[in-house]
Amino acid sequence: MAAAHDEAAALVVHGDRVPDTGSERVWLATHDRVVRGKDGAYRHTGRADDMEMVGGVTVSSLEVEAVLGDHSAVKEVGVTVLADAQGITQLHAFVVPGDPAGRPDSLPAELVALARNRLAPHKVPRVVHLVDALPRTPNGKLRRHILKSGKW
């Protein structure tokens, strides 16, 4: 894989011969996203299906989640795209506060300000929802398809 330093790329794995196909080698598209650092090492940044389309621009929900998750009042966060009544997509953040009883009314505005300070404008969530819990599998993985519904 050829990628410039700090440039995102798709990870493709070169594998062994596939039996009964006549192919000597096979390439496997893993749908993982990586960034090559200045030291030449690749850092996993998520999967292609973690990417969201907002206004024609691709956004990594994991990148936005990492920024919002840095706020001391955030226990966990999930970010997705939801369409409004006209079908226009907007980035929404679903946030579980660290202290549910002490949910400050200012937390959504603080998170938007944090995102504006650290992310490109198109990556800033337009809406922040404070929720009691995120939809998770029994193994603890975020159920992004349910998050996309906005209801659980």
76, part of any domain: yes
Within a domain: 1: no
Residue 128 covered by a domain: yes
The answer to whether residue 35 is domain-embedded is yes
Contacts of 43 (CB under 8 A, 6+ apart): 34, 35, 36, 37
Q: Domain tally for the chain?
A: 2
2 in any annotated domain: no
Question: Same structural domain for residues 31 and 69?
Answer: no
CB contact set of 120 (below 8 Å; sequence gap of 6+): none
Q: Give the pLDDT score at 69.
A: 96
Calculate helix-pair angle for 61-69, 107-118, nearest 10 degrees: 120
The answer as to whether 69 is a domain residue is yes
**Mean pLDDT of each 10-residue bin along the chain, 152 residues long:** 49 56 58 75 69 77 93 94 86 91 83 96 94 92 88 83
What pLDDT was estimated at residue 30? 61
Do 115 and 137 belong together in one domain? yes
- Domain ranges, residue 98: 49-147
Q: Residue 61: which CATH number?
A: 3.30.300.30
Q: Residue 88: what pLDDT?
A: 83
The length of the chain, given as a count of residues:
152
Please check whether residues 26 and 59 belong to one and the same domain: no
Output helix, strand, coil percentages for the chain, rounded to the nearest 5.
20, 40, 40
> Is the same domain home to 123 and 111?
yes
Instruction: Kindly state whether residues 103 and 143 are assigned to the same domain.
Output: yes
> Residue 60 has what pLDDT?
82
